[in-house]
């Protein structure tokens, strides 16, 4: 089998490529240059896809004895990931750039080119598992749930999964991956994991957005519309945020307030008590199915929903309404923001996802939504 190994310069993708070689496949390594500033250097464990990362990937490829190339996807990355990130915040939404990168870059642009060049599979170091069944490929959680990355792969379609291979799927722990890398003589065996947003290596998301969107002062209001403070721009805030709020009016009970809603059209931030963050229902568009669509979603299916990469899955009921996916949580969810992806699971299997467009607060649930949820059950 002819395999293209996507090599980020990290330990996971290095070991994944090595396992593909061990399996006897014809392997070619490729590193994706995603920065529009080719001289970008790595800062500690922040960021990825830098000059140092490309050099680390090349050293691994040389040790494995496989061809190695660098593909420049910087323009596509800027348009589909960076600009999408800025546009979503400008619209008052909270995007997940890693998920969008997997969707648009690693498993669309890269995979399309790989297939066009005659490769059978694309190998990455993601912690997730693809099962090939009579009904088609299915995406499942990895053996190491602490490192499981199926959430950020929930946007993959059946046709994409058919060409994916995740050799780390059954590896019990990240420590075992590092030990294997050391045994193979890879100098990056103890290289720290990247974290935060790769195109904001200093971690200052608000500064990054302010530089691109400017300041746009507005009012901070409570749930009844009373003004309780001011801000320099709604793009610097996200649902669930507590710190960084300039509030001149204390809450009635003296407790802390949290961002409940971001309204860019009126330049308002709505704040309230922590309990007001609880969400009973959500609905979203940009629906995708990770494999064959589950027939139970037509009328209602008991599932688990995960709303952030590191959140716990929660029991819920989900169904399709036209082009939207509607989800009713068994217990209220917290920290739900529009722009996030809601990924559905049935056991370890990923069913699909949607981008959250609307939510209903648990203490203000719409009677119609609740009735629909009960009828579907």
Q: Which residues of 307-333 are buried (b: 16+ CB within 10 A; e: fewer)?
A: bbbebeebebbbbbeeebbbbbbeebb
pLDDT (tens digit, 9 = 90+) per residue, 6-41?
Answer: 999 999 999 999 999 999 999 999 999 987 655 454
Per the CB < 8 A criterion, the answer to whether 15 and 167 are in contact is yes
Domain borders along the chain are 2-125+167-183, 221-274, 277-376
pLDDT (tens digit, 0 to 9) for every residue of the chain, 377 residues total? 999 999 999 999 999 999 999 999 999 999 999 876 554 544 444 456 678 889 999 999 999 999 999 999 999 999 999 999 999 999 999 999 999 999 999 999 999 999 999 999 999 999 999 999 999 999 999 988 788 999 999 999 999 999 999 999 999 899 999 999 999 999 999 988 876 688 887 788 888 999 999 888 999 999 999 999 999 999 889 999 998 888 988 888 889 999 999 999 999 999 999 999 999 999 999 999 999 999 999 999 999 999 998 899 999 999 999 999 999 999 999 989 999 999 999 999 999 999 999 999 898 765 444 334 434 33
Catalytic: 198?
Answer: yes
CATH of 221-274, one of 3.40.50, 3.40.5, 2.60.40, 2.30.30: 2.30.30
Write down the catalytic residue from 48, 49, 98, 198. Answer: 198
Q: What is the pLDDT of residue 39?
A: 47
Going from the C-alpha of 198 to that of each of 40, 49, 50, 57, the distances in angstroms are: 11, 8, 9, 17
Catalytic: 164?
Answer: no
- Please give the backbone phi and psi of residue 230, each rounded to the nearest 5 degrees, phi first: -140, 160
pLDDT (tens digit, 9 = 90+) per residue, 279-331?
Answer: 999 999 999 999 999 999 999 999 999 999 889 999 999 999 999 999 999 99
Tokens of 205: 């998301």
Write down the catalytic residue from 48, 98, 101, 164. Answer: 101
CATH number for the domain whose boundaries are 277-376: 2.40.30.10
CATH number for the domain whose boundaries are 2-125+167-183: 3.40.50.620
Query: Is the Cα torsion angle 94, 95, 97, 99 positive or negative in sign?
Result: positive
Tokens of 372: 């629909």
Going from the C-alpha of 221 to that of each of 5, 96, 175, 251, the distances in angstroms are: 51, 26, 48, 11
What gap in Å lies between CA 110 and CA 107, rounded to an integer? 6
**Residue among 312, 288, 300, 347 at smallest CA distance from 141:** 347
């Amino acid at each position: 089998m002819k395999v293209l190994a996507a090599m980020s310069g990290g330990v996971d993708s290095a070991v994944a490529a090595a396992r593909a070689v061990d399996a006897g496949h014809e392997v070619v390594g490729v590193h994706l240059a995603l920065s529009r500033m080719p001289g970008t250097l790595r800062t500690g464990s922040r960021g990825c896809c830098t000059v140092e990362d490309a050099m680390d990937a090349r050293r691994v490829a040389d040790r494995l004895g496989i061809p190695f190339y660098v593909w420049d996807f910087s323009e596509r990355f800027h348009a589909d990931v960076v600009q999408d990130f800025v546009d979503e915040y400008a619209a008052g939404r909270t995007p997940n750039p890693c998920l969008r990168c997997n969707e648009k870059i690693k498993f669309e642009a890269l995979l399309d080119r790989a297939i066009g060049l005659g490769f059978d599979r694309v190998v990455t170091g993601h912690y997730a598992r693809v099962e090939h069944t009579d009904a088609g490929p299915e995406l499942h959680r990895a053996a190491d749930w602490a490192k499981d990355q199926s959430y950020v792969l929930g946007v993959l379609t059946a046709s994409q999964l058919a060409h994916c291979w995740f050799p780390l799927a059954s590896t019990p722990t990240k420590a075992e991956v590092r030990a294997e890398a050391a045994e193979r003589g890879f100098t990056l065996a103890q290289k720290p994991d990247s974290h935060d947003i790769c195109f904001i290596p200093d971690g200052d998301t608000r500064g990054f957005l302010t530089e691109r969107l400017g300041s746009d002062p507005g009012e901070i209001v409570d749930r009844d519309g009373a003004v309780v403070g001011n801000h320099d721009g709604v793009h610097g805030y996200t649902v669930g945020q507590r710190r960084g709020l300039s509030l001149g009016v204390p809450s009635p009970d003296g407790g802390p307030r949290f961002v409940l809603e971001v309204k860019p059209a009126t330049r308002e931030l709505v704040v309230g008590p922590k309990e007001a963050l609880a969400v009973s229902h959500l609905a979203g568009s940009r629906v995708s199915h990770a494999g064959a669509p589950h027939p139970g979603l037509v009328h209602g299916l008991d599932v688990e929903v995960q709303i952030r990469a590191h959140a716990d899955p929660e029991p819920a009921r989900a169904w399709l309404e036209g082009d939207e996916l509607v989800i009713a949580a068994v217990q209220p969810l917290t920290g739900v923001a529009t722009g996030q992806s809601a990924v559905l699971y049935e056991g370890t299997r990923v069913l699909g996802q949607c981008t959250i467009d609307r939510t209903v607060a648990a203490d203000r649930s719409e009677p119609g939504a609740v009735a629909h949820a009960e009828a579907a059950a």
